[in-house]
Chain A
Amino acid sequence: NAGVTQTPKFQVLKTGQSMTLQCAQDMNHEYMSWYRQDPGMGLRLIHYSVGAGITDQGEVPNGYNVSRSTTEDFPLRLLSAAPSQTSVYFCASSLLTREQETQYFGPGTRLLVL
Protein backbone atom coordinates (compact mmCIF):
# COMPACT_ATOMS: atom_id res chain seq x y z
CA ASN A 1 0.00 0.00 0.00
CA ALA A 2 1.22 3.49 -0.88
CA GLY A 3 -0.76 4.99 2.01
CA VAL A 4 -1.53 8.68 1.54
CA THR A 5 0.10 10.38 -1.42
CA GLN A 6 0.21 14.08 -2.23
CA THR A 7 1.23 15.98 -5.33
CA PRO A 8 2.99 18.21 -6.01
CA LYS A 9 5.69 18.24 -3.33
CA PHE A 10 6.45 21.90 -3.90
CA GLN A 11 4.70 24.69 -5.78
CA VAL A 12 5.28 28.39 -6.34
CA LEU A 13 2.29 30.53 -7.29
CA LYS A 14 1.73 34.17 -8.03
CA THR A 15 -0.99 36.04 -6.20
CA GLY A 16 -4.34 35.44 -7.91
CA GLN A 17 -3.38 32.16 -9.56
CA SER A 18 -5.36 29.02 -8.96
CA MET A 19 -4.21 25.48 -8.40
CA THR A 20 -5.29 22.11 -7.09
CA LEU A 21 -3.40 20.10 -4.51
CA GLN A 22 -3.94 16.40 -5.04
CA CYS A 23 -4.41 13.81 -2.32
CA ALA A 24 -5.07 10.11 -2.72
CA GLN A 25 -5.24 7.15 -0.34
CA ASP A 26 -5.42 3.42 -1.03
CA MET A 27 -6.58 2.24 2.39
CA ASN A 28 -10.32 2.56 1.70
CA HIS A 29 -10.65 5.16 4.46
CA GLU A 30 -13.93 7.01 4.67
CA TYR A 31 -12.53 10.04 6.45
CA MET A 32 -10.14 12.42 4.72
CA SER A 33 -8.99 15.87 5.70
CA TRP A 34 -6.72 18.75 4.80
CA TYR A 35 -4.55 20.64 7.25
CA ARG A 36 -2.19 23.54 6.89
CA GLN A 37 0.93 24.03 8.97
CA ASP A 38 2.50 27.43 9.32
CA PRO A 39 6.07 27.91 10.68
CA GLY A 40 6.35 27.04 14.35
CA MET A 41 2.69 26.09 14.50
CA GLY A 42 0.64 22.98 14.81
CA LEU A 43 -1.73 21.81 12.11
CA ARG A 44 -5.03 23.56 11.51
CA LEU A 45 -7.97 21.82 9.88
CA ILE A 46 -9.12 23.33 6.57
CA HIS A 47 -11.78 20.94 5.23
CA TYR A 48 -12.76 17.37 5.79
CA SER A 49 -14.89 14.66 4.24
CA VAL A 50 -16.68 11.68 5.77
CA GLY A 51 -17.26 9.95 2.46
CA ALA A 52 -17.75 10.43 -1.26
CA GLY A 53 -20.00 13.39 -1.92
CA ILE A 54 -19.82 14.71 1.66
CA THR A 55 -17.54 17.54 2.71
CA ASP A 56 -17.55 20.15 5.46
CA GLN A 57 -15.52 23.05 6.76
CA GLY A 58 -12.87 22.91 9.43
CA GLU A 59 -11.22 25.66 11.42
CA VAL A 60 -9.72 27.70 8.54
CA PRO A 61 -11.76 27.06 5.35
CA ASN A 62 -11.70 30.51 3.75
CA GLY A 63 -9.98 30.61 0.35
CA TYR A 64 -10.17 26.84 -0.18
CA ASN A 65 -12.62 24.51 -1.89
CA VAL A 66 -12.83 20.74 -1.78
CA SER A 67 -14.81 17.97 -3.39
CA ARG A 68 -14.92 14.21 -2.91
CA SER A 69 -16.11 12.31 -5.94
CA THR A 70 -14.43 9.03 -4.98
CA THR A 71 -13.36 7.36 -1.76
CA GLU A 72 -9.72 7.53 -2.82
CA ASP A 73 -9.29 11.17 -3.84
CA PHE A 74 -9.73 14.44 -1.98
CA PRO A 75 -8.33 17.43 -3.90
CA LEU A 76 -7.93 20.88 -2.36
CA ARG A 77 -8.45 23.89 -4.62
CA LEU A 78 -7.11 27.38 -4.20
CA LEU A 79 -9.23 29.57 -6.46
CA SER A 80 -7.22 32.79 -6.10
CA ALA A 81 -3.99 32.31 -4.20
CA ALA A 82 -2.91 34.88 -1.61
CA PRO A 83 0.44 35.27 0.20
CA SER A 84 -1.34 34.33 3.45
CA GLN A 85 -1.83 30.86 1.97
CA THR A 86 1.91 30.23 1.92
CA SER A 87 2.17 27.14 4.07
CA VAL A 88 2.75 23.40 4.11
CA TYR A 89 -0.39 21.43 3.38
CA PHE A 90 -1.01 17.95 4.71
CA CYS A 91 -3.69 15.51 3.71
CA ALA A 92 -4.75 12.80 6.15
CA SER A 93 -7.11 9.86 6.15
CA SER A 94 -8.56 7.49 8.70
CA LEU A 95 -11.32 5.05 9.34
CA LEU A 96 -14.60 6.68 10.31
CA THR A 97 -15.92 5.36 13.59
CA ARG A 98 -17.55 6.76 16.69
CA GLU A 99 -14.16 6.62 18.33
CA GLN A 100 -11.08 8.63 17.47
CA GLU A 101 -8.92 6.75 15.01
CA THR A 102 -5.30 6.98 13.97
CA GLN A 103 -4.84 9.49 11.19
CA TYR A 104 -2.43 8.65 8.38
CA PHE A 105 -0.70 11.67 6.91
CA GLY A 106 0.75 12.32 3.50
CA PRO A 107 4.24 13.79 3.05
CA GLY A 108 2.93 17.32 2.50
CA THR A 109 2.88 19.96 -0.22
CA ARG A 110 4.98 23.05 0.35
CA LEU A 111 3.27 26.08 -1.21
CA LEU A 112 4.80 29.50 -1.71
CA VAL A 113 2.58 32.35 -2.92
CA LEU A 114 4.41 35.42 -4.15
Chain B
Amino acid sequence: SQQGEEDPQALSIQEGENATMNCSYKTSINNLQWYRQNSGRGLVHLILIRSNEREKHSGRLRVTLDTSKKSSSLLITASRAADTASYFCATDGFFGAQKLVFGQGTRLTINP
Protein backbone atom coordinates (compact mmCIF):
# COMPACT_ATOMS: atom_id res chain seq x y z
CA SER B 1 0.00 0.00 0.00
CA GLN B 2 1.21 3.46 -0.80
CA GLN B 3 2.06 5.65 2.14
CA GLY B 4 2.14 8.95 0.30
CA GLU B 5 -0.41 10.34 -2.09
CA GLU B 6 0.42 13.30 -4.31
CA ASP B 7 -2.02 15.87 -5.52
CA PRO B 8 -2.57 16.81 -8.27
CA GLN B 9 -1.64 13.80 -10.39
CA ALA B 10 -0.77 16.13 -13.27
CA LEU B 11 -0.03 19.84 -13.45
CA SER B 12 0.62 22.00 -16.50
CA ILE B 13 1.74 25.62 -16.13
CA GLN B 14 3.50 28.33 -18.11
CA GLU B 15 7.20 28.95 -17.75
CA GLY B 16 7.88 31.48 -15.04
CA GLU B 17 4.83 30.54 -12.96
CA ASN B 18 5.03 28.83 -9.60
CA ALA B 19 4.14 25.16 -9.22
CA THR B 20 2.75 23.65 -6.04
CA MET B 21 2.42 19.94 -5.38
CA ASN B 22 0.97 18.34 -2.29
CA CYS B 23 1.63 15.07 -0.55
CA SER B 24 -0.43 13.35 2.13
CA TYR B 25 0.63 10.34 4.14
CA LYS B 26 -1.03 7.96 6.55
CA THR B 27 1.27 7.00 9.42
CA SER B 28 3.64 8.90 11.66
CA ILE B 29 6.95 9.71 10.05
CA ASN B 30 10.42 10.78 11.07
CA ASN B 31 11.31 12.39 7.76
CA LEU B 32 9.88 13.16 4.33
CA GLN B 33 11.80 13.50 1.09
CA TRP B 34 10.97 14.82 -2.35
CA TYR B 35 12.46 13.32 -5.49
CA ARG B 36 12.36 14.29 -9.16
CA GLN B 37 12.22 11.82 -12.03
CA ASN B 38 12.83 12.90 -15.58
CA SER B 39 11.16 10.76 -18.19
CA GLY B 40 12.78 7.34 -18.42
CA ARG B 41 15.43 8.15 -15.82
CA GLY B 42 16.19 7.34 -12.22
CA LEU B 43 15.09 9.45 -9.29
CA VAL B 44 17.08 12.42 -8.09
CA HIS B 45 16.89 13.62 -4.50
CA LEU B 46 15.64 17.18 -4.08
CA ILE B 47 15.15 17.87 -0.41
CA LEU B 48 14.64 16.18 2.95
CA ILE B 49 12.58 17.64 5.76
CA ARG B 50 12.57 16.18 9.25
CA SER B 51 9.46 15.82 11.36
CA ASN B 52 10.54 18.60 13.72
CA GLU B 53 10.90 21.07 10.82
CA ARG B 54 8.03 23.05 9.33
CA GLU B 55 9.66 24.60 6.30
CA LYS B 56 12.83 24.17 4.31
CA HIS B 57 14.30 25.95 1.30
CA SER B 58 16.74 24.88 -1.39
CA GLY B 59 17.27 27.27 -4.28
CA ARG B 60 13.89 27.67 -6.01
CA LEU B 61 12.36 24.89 -3.91
CA ARG B 62 10.32 25.39 -0.78
CA VAL B 63 8.99 22.45 1.18
CA THR B 64 6.55 22.62 4.06
CA LEU B 65 5.54 19.89 6.46
CA ASP B 66 2.46 19.77 8.64
CA THR B 67 2.65 16.66 10.80
CA SER B 68 -0.73 17.37 12.40
CA LYS B 69 -2.36 17.12 8.98
CA LYS B 70 0.08 14.48 7.73
CA SER B 71 0.81 16.54 4.66
CA SER B 72 3.65 18.25 2.83
CA SER B 73 3.88 20.62 -0.09
CA LEU B 74 6.59 21.31 -2.64
CA LEU B 75 6.70 24.75 -4.22
CA ILE B 76 8.86 25.41 -7.27
CA THR B 77 9.17 29.12 -7.94
CA ALA B 78 9.84 30.76 -11.31
CA SER B 79 9.46 27.47 -13.16
CA ARG B 80 11.64 26.57 -16.13
CA ALA B 81 11.19 24.12 -18.99
CA ALA B 82 13.87 21.95 -17.36
CA ASP B 83 11.59 21.48 -14.35
CA THR B 84 9.31 19.28 -16.47
CA ALA B 85 9.39 15.94 -14.67
CA SER B 86 7.50 13.75 -12.22
CA TYR B 87 7.82 14.62 -8.56
CA PHE B 88 7.47 12.08 -5.77
CA CYS B 89 7.27 12.37 -2.05
CA ALA B 90 8.72 9.55 0.01
CA THR B 91 8.30 8.83 3.69
CA ASP B 92 9.90 6.57 6.22
CA GLY B 93 8.35 5.15 9.35
CA PHE B 94 6.22 2.51 7.70
CA PHE B 95 9.07 0.04 7.26
CA GLY B 96 11.97 1.89 8.86
CA ALA B 97 14.30 4.84 8.39
CA GLN B 98 15.87 3.87 5.09
CA LYS B 99 12.97 1.94 3.60
CA LEU B 100 11.17 4.67 1.74
CA VAL B 101 7.53 4.47 0.72
CA PHE B 102 6.70 6.52 -2.34
CA GLY B 103 3.55 8.21 -3.51
CA GLN B 104 2.25 7.96 -7.06
CA GLY B 105 3.81 11.24 -8.10
CA THR B 106 2.79 14.49 -9.75
CA ARG B 107 3.56 14.87 -13.42
CA LEU B 108 4.62 18.51 -13.95
CA THR B 109 4.74 20.03 -17.44
CA ILE B 110 6.21 23.49 -17.95
CA ASN B 111 5.04 25.08 -21.18
CA PRO B 112 7.36 27.59 -22.88
Contact = CB atoms under 8 A, between A and B. Distances in A.
A44 B4 CA distance: 11
A107 B99 contact: no
A5 B108 CA distance: 27
Interface residues of A, number: 30
A43 B95 contact: no
Interface in A1-24: 4
- Interface size class of chain B, counting residues whose CB lies under 8 Å from the partner chain: 20 to 34
A42 B105 contact: yes
A42 B41 contact: no
Contact of A59 (B40, B42, B95, B103): B95
A89 B97 CA distance: 21
Nearest to B92: A100
B88 A106 contact: no
B30 interface: yes
A18 to B, nearest CB: 25
A46 B90 CA distance: 15
B103 A100 contact: no
A33 interface: yes
Interface of A: 4, 31, 33, 35, 40-45, 48, 50, 58-59, 90, 92, 94, 96-108
Task: Give 6 closest A-B pairs by Cβ, nearest first.
Answer: A42-B102, A100-B31, A105-B42, A43-B102, A105-B43, A102-B45
